[in-house]
Amino acid sequence: MKPQPSSKAATLHDVARIAGVSLITASRALSKPELVSDKTIARVQEAVAQTGYLPNLMAGGLKSKRSQMVAGIIPALSVAQFLPTLQTLTETLAQAGYQLILGQTGYDVAREEALINTMISRRPDGLFMTGLVHAAAARARLQQAGIPVVESWDFSAQPVDMLVGFSHHDVGRAIAAFFRAKGWQKVGIASANDPRARQRCEGFEATWGQPVPTALVPAPSGLARGREALGTLLAQCPDLQAVYCSSDQMAQGVLVEAQARGLRVPEDLALCGFGNAEFSAHMVPALSTVHVDGAGIGERAAQMILQRCAGQSVEQPVQDIGFSIIERRSTERAPG
């Protein structure tokens, strides 16, 4: 009934003393109960309840070399694209008793490198990256640190360690092929200016075979940037028939701007986004887009890291998770 004996946090030492057992027995009763008799476990748990003991994971980790933390590095929290991945990653790791430490690079390679060093200083049991590790020094550090690393949302022939992603270049090519199959001649690109979005642009142009009018806007791209971008594109090419947008949020903006200018979608202008956001299927017209299983990336990455932490090897350390074009109303008939 009375509160904790002192103002300081109880240690395992206190628990052991109150339970009348040795330190290590108390430790085992809590973390490896199968090695301890039920009676002892009960007494230890009684002492834990009495003292309000919570283990100090820093101390445990120092000795056991397992921090039960995973570092997660993203460009910025405001990039909606990665949220399902991060949410699933965090949840799956949490179920296994691991927490995520978050770091944001702001798409800056120098910050990415500094962040990786900071993270390694915490001795995480694994590291998750959205995108690839860009700095060579950071790659070397990670390899030397010997922890499981998952790069994601991109593809590389030489990953640092493991990878779950797909080729953005291929996405661009697929969209261009899709546009071409529709018979459209005058097409444009409204894209954020981040490395992966640029790869999609390059893929698009590679398949398209000639330069494509492109409006590049700063990342992260949103509705406002989409409106702006359509303005830019129409100034370059007034008889535009179709636009590929580097995010569904941006496509929403292009749609709004089109409607504001009296252009009908898809009759006058067709639209394809990227990301298959929650809202895309419910827009009017419903938005054609590229689906990527973001939650799946988070889930697989978590599993890969957890397997490695459990000492198992991962069968497929490099997974191409693919993508698919989802055709909806916004590209339903060839305009013009």
Partner DNA sequence: CTGTTAGCGCATTCAG
Partner DNA sequence: CTGAATGCGCTAACAG
Sites of contact with DNA (CB under 7 A): 8-9, 11-13, 21-25, 27-28, 30-31, 34-37, 39-40, 53, 55-56, 59-60, 62-64
* Amino acid sitting at position 8: K
Rounded-to-integer distance, Cα 209 and Cα 207, Å:
5
In angstroms, the CA 126 to CA 73 distance is 11
The nearer residue to a second copy, 104 or 318, going by C-beta atoms, is 104
CB of 119 to DNA, least distance (A): 15
| Phi (first) and psi of residue 271, to 5 degrees | -145, 135
Q: How far apart are CA 205 and CA 299, in angstroms?
A: 33
Minimum distance between the CB of residue 55 and a second copy, rounded to whole angstroms? 5
DSSP labels, 148-217: -EEEESS--SS-SSEEEE--HHHHHHHHHHHHHHTT--SEEEEEE-SHHHHHHHHHHHHHH-S---EEEE
Local structure of residue 331 (DSSP, 8 states): G
Instruction: State the nearest-atom distance from the C-beta of 227 to a second copy, in Å.
Output: 6
Min CB(137)–DNA separation in Å: 19
Show the tokens assigned to 5: 């004996």
Six token digits for residue 154:
């991109």
Min CB(140)–DNA separation in Å: 19
Tokens 């991962």, residue located: 314
* Cβ-based nearer residue to DNA, 59 or 235: 59
Residue 96 contact among a second copy, DNA, none, beta carbon within 5 to 8 Å by kind: none
Residues that bind a second copy (CB under 8 A): 3-4, 7, 9, 52, 54-59, 61-62, 67, 69, 72, 76-78, 80, 83-84, 86-87, 90-91, 94, 99-104, 115, 117-123, 141, 144-146, 222-224, 227, 249, 252-253, 256, 259-260, 278-279, 281-284
**Partner whose footprint covers residue 24, from DNA, a second copy, none (CB < 5 to 8 Å by kind):** DNA
Q: Where are the alpha helices (DSSP H) in the chain?
A: 12-19, 23-31, 38-51, 57-64, 83-95, 109-121, 136-145, 168-181, 195-208, 223-236, 248-260, 294-309
Decide whether 177 or 295 has the Cβ nearer to a second copy. 295
Task: Give min distance, CB of 118 to DNA, in A.
Answer: 14
Q: Which does 237 bind (CB under 5 to 8 A by kind): DNA, a second copy, none?
A: none
Nearer to DNA, 116 or 234 (CB): 116
d(CA 88, CA 109): 26
Helix 12-19, helix 23-31: angle, nearest 10: 100
| Sign of torsion over alpha carbons 195, 201, 203, 209 | negative
The nearer residue to DNA, 54 or 235, going by C-beta atoms, is: 54
Closer to a second copy by CB, 146 or 211: give it. Answer: 146
Indicate which of a second copy, DNA, none lies near residue 312 (CB less than 5 to 8 Å, by partner kind).
none
The one of DNA, a second copy, none whose footprint includes residue 316, by CB under 5 to 8 A per kind, is: none
Question: Toward a second copy, which CB reaches closer, 94 or 206?
Answer: 94
Q: Which does 333 bind (CB under 5 to 8 A by kind): a second copy, DNA, none?
A: none
Q: Long-range pairs for 275-280 at CB < 8 Å and ≥24 separation?
A: 275/80, 275/81, 275/247, 275/248, 275/249, 276/248, 276/326, 277/80, 277/247, 277/248, 277/249, 279/248, 279/252, 280/248, 280/251, 280/328
User: Looking at beta carbons only, is 16 or 100 nearer to DNA?
Assistant: 16
Minimum CB separation from DNA for residue 65, in Å?
Answer: 7
Tell me how far, at minimum, the Cβ of 67 lies from a second copy, in Å. Answer: 6
